Amino acid sequence: RAEADATAVTEGGPEALAAALSGCRRCPLWADATQAVPGEGPPDAALMIVGEQPGDREDLAGRPFVGPAGQLFDAVAGRVGLARERAYVTNAVKHFKFTPRGKRRIHQRPNAGEVAHCRWWLDLERERVQPKLILALGATAAESLTGDGRRLGARRGGVETTPDGTPVLITYHPSYLLRLPEAERFAAMAAFEADLGRAVEMVG
Ligand code: URA
């Protein structure tokens, strides 16, 4: 079944992938989410950007990085000449994981099993797009792409690789930057901006 899915998806375009993804039952996260959020962008993008999972806004819109984290990303990307529309933007996990609190839905980090199940989709996207460079936003993306689940700290700003050899530039997740106390935010934002600038340089 998985192989049949893979063939249909690889041979079809982005619509085939989105359609197959919307029926994904590989882990239980689909049950509470509004919809799966597929990646978007040119199918031959040189740069792939990978986040953690859709947030509240992305879950409702069906598009990646349209909420506050995406807005921060876009602002910094604009400063370094990173054209988001030329990149393929996706997430390590395609369904929103949350706990309800009153009327709000509070983001929960996906666990290792959920990330591993969803890697099937990320691998398909990587195979189709064949990016020159992948920008991993945060530890979940870094783990899914490299297999290394260590904390981000010392890894940030470094280039690692996927098991099949694609370079992965590791940087902060924009939601992390939004949560930082102001005293720490300035330096972290500067590092994030430098990483995005490096990604632009690396893809040429
Ligand atoms: N955070 C992510 O990691 N991805 C999104 O698409 C939105 C917020």
Segment 117-165, tens digit of pLDDT: 999 999 999 999 999 999 999 999 999 999 999 999 999 999 999 999 9
Q: Which atom of ligand 1 is nearest to the CA of 140?
A: 3
Q: Which atom of ligand 1 is nearest to the CA of 173?
A: 3
Ligand 1 centre and the CA of 32: distance in Å?
17
Q: Name which of 10, 52, 5 is nearest 26 in CA terms.
A: 5
Look at the block and give the residue holding tokens 């947030």.
Answer: 55
Distances (CA, A) of 157 to 23, 57, 154, 160, 163: 36, 28, 8, 10, 19
Determine the angle formed by the axes of helices 139-146 and 112-129, rounding to 10 degrees.
Answer: 70
Q: Which ranges of the chain would DSSP assign to H, the alpha helix?
A: 2-11, 14-22, 56-61, 68-80, 112-129, 139-146, 174-179, 182-203
Q: Using CA atoms, how far apart are residues 19 and 187, in angstroms rounded to an integer?
A: 41
With a Cβ cut-off of 6 Å, ligand 1 is lined by 51-55, 58, 64-65, 67, 69-70, 91, 175
pLDDT in tens, the chain (204 residues): 565 566 777 678 888 999 999 999 999 999 999 999 999 999 999 999 999 999 999 999 999 999 999 999 999 999 999 999 999 999 999 999 999 999 999 999 999 999 999 999 999 999 999 999 999 999 999 999 999 999 999 999 999 999 999 999 999 999 999 999 999 999 999 999 999 999 999 999
Q: For the whole model, what pTM was predicted?
A: 0.96
| Check: complex ipTM more than 0.90 | yes
Question: Tens of pLDDT along 123-135?
Answer: 999 999 999 999 9
Ligand 1 centre and the CA of 65: distance in Å?
5
Ligand 1 centre and the CA of 64: distance in Å?
6
